[in-house]
Amino acid sequence: MKILIVNTSDNQGGAATAAFRLMEALNNNGHKAKMLVRDKNTSSITVAKAGEQKYSKWHFLYERLSILTTLRGKKNNLFAIDIANSGIDITKTREFQEADVIHLHWINQGMLSLNGIRKILESDKPVVWTMHDLWPASSICHYARGCTGFTKQCGNCPLLPGSSKNDLSHKVWKRKEAMLENKGIQFVTCSKWLMQTAKQSSLIKDQKIQSIPNPIDTMIFRPQGKQKAREVFQLPKDKKVILFASQKVSDERKGGKYLLEALEICQREKPNFKDECVLAILGAKPENLPEDIQIPAYHLGYISDTQKIVSAYNAADIFVLPSLEDNLPNTIMEALACGLPCAAFKTGGIPEMIDNGKNGYTAQYKDSQDLAKGIITLLYSDNYKEMSSEAVKKVIKNYSQSAVALKYTEVYNAAIAQKHYNL
């Protein structure tokens, strides 16, 4: 079976990583999968570039300018919104024409327009769409943030200034409704949480929606020697290392604020905590690190080399990701695969990954005190080795390439059958 995976990038962002890994999983399990992207950054021969770069940039800039105009020049929510008013027509590409199934992933920021998606749906190709966030089931937002507008027809959007019932969010919702009318799509979410959320959407309530997790190569992401891994980053070998990953520690959605509060609580409740533990931060730039971190902090920087990423996980004792809203974070999956117990808030798809007390700790939502309890519990647990082993078992059983590829094969066959039935 020839599958074309469509994503904005082949390696930038969590969705790109998941889509690329799925392509590898399918190819390793008997299929012929390719990626079609706007931004190609890898040298993979199974990734093709869609459109000329100058036109790709134009689509991106035109959409951002349209959004900025709607926001009255304010940039606060400039990248929290996508309206898909401009994009690439991929239906004329050789990759599209040769494919048996078109598999959409994260296609925003000028990759595909609503008109471009409509052309795909009107072709003779079966379509599967993996949701990495809520955008395919909402109007213009990627995360609802407590808003229930997507369960109706949007309008009065909290992301828009002076919003009204017939604002941009409602207009885009109506365009999506027209695009999807009488079209059959196999929707897939990466977590059961997002699946249940998407099923509330008035936009895709009549579509088939199911949940399949992202895959990971457990031959690459696996436990390795901790001391040798610490040498790579010059981390102290006699300390307990807490790993956190974020481009900005101050990123509200990633919950950096709660991590800092939790570390302060840890220091108060365990006086030797500051002497025994250090924080390693993956991704953030030095200028984005706050000055009031309660324990010694090591900046690992942004790492693109996979083996160094694996070393970063193996250098740590636990992984902490206090996200306030997340789907099925690749970082938690990677940490578990490397044998790291994880601490995170009980939100989104995270409780599906972390089995509380077995391979990590799920703290009450936005509860820094409980997060601190989780950090101390994992770091000083007498059952640490057992939790580490359970973390690896969880990934092998649920997220291995073969397990995920098999589930997607069933979805592709269903999409093909659905297309033939509708014809």
- pLDDT tens digits, 21-77: 999 999 999 999 999 999 999 999 999 999 766 677 899 999 999 999 999 999 989
Residue with tokens 């391979």: 359
Looking at residue 180, what is its pLDDT? 94
Looking at residue 252, what is its pLDDT? 72
- Of 237, 342, 370, 359, residue with least CA distance to 298: 237
How does residue 253 score in pLDDT terms, banded at 50, 70 and 90? Answer: confident
Task: Say if residue 294's pLDDT is above 80.
Answer: no
Task: Say if residue 422's pLDDT is above 80.
Answer: no
The structural domains of the chain, ordered by start, are 2-215+400-422 (3.40.50.2000), 226-398 (3.40.50.2000)
pLDDT digits (tens, 9 = 90+) for 308-319: 999 999 999 999
- What is the percent of the chain where pLDDT is above 70? 95
pLDDT digits (tens, 9 = 90+) for 322-361: 998 888 899 999 999 999 999 999 999 999 999 999 999 9
Looking at per-residue confidence, does 238 or 285 come out higher?
238
Mean pLDDT on 78-85: 95
Looking at residue 30, what is its pLDDT? 93
Task: Say if residue 292's pLDDT is above 70.
Answer: no
Structure tokens at 391: 């973390």
Looking at residue 249, what is its pLDDT? 61
Looking at residue 290, what is its pLDDT? 59
pTM attached to this predicted model: 0.88
Looking at residue 275, what is its pLDDT? 93
Mean pLDDT on 197-204: 95
Looking at residue 326, what is its pLDDT? 84
DSSP per residue, 251-311: -TTTTHHHHHHHHHHHHHHSTTHHHHEEEEEES--GGGS-TT-SS-EEEEE----HHHHHH
Looking at residue 146, what is its pLDDT? 87
Interatomic CA distance for residues 218 and 186, integer angstroms: 27
Interatomic CA distance for residues 325 and 145, integer angstroms: 8
Looking at residue 47, what is its pLDDT? 97
Q: Is 376 within 8 Å of 369 (Cβ atoms)?
A: no
pLDDT digits (tens, 9 = 90+) for 143-171: 988 899 999 999 999 999 987 999 999 99
10 Å CB burial of residue 193 (0-12, 13-18, 19+) is: buried
Read off the DSSP letter of residue 190. S
Interatomic CA distance for residues 70 and 139, integer angstroms: 15
Q: For the chain, what's the residue count?
A: 423
Interatomic CA distance for residues 372 and 388, integer angstroms: 19
Mean pLDDT on 110-136: 96
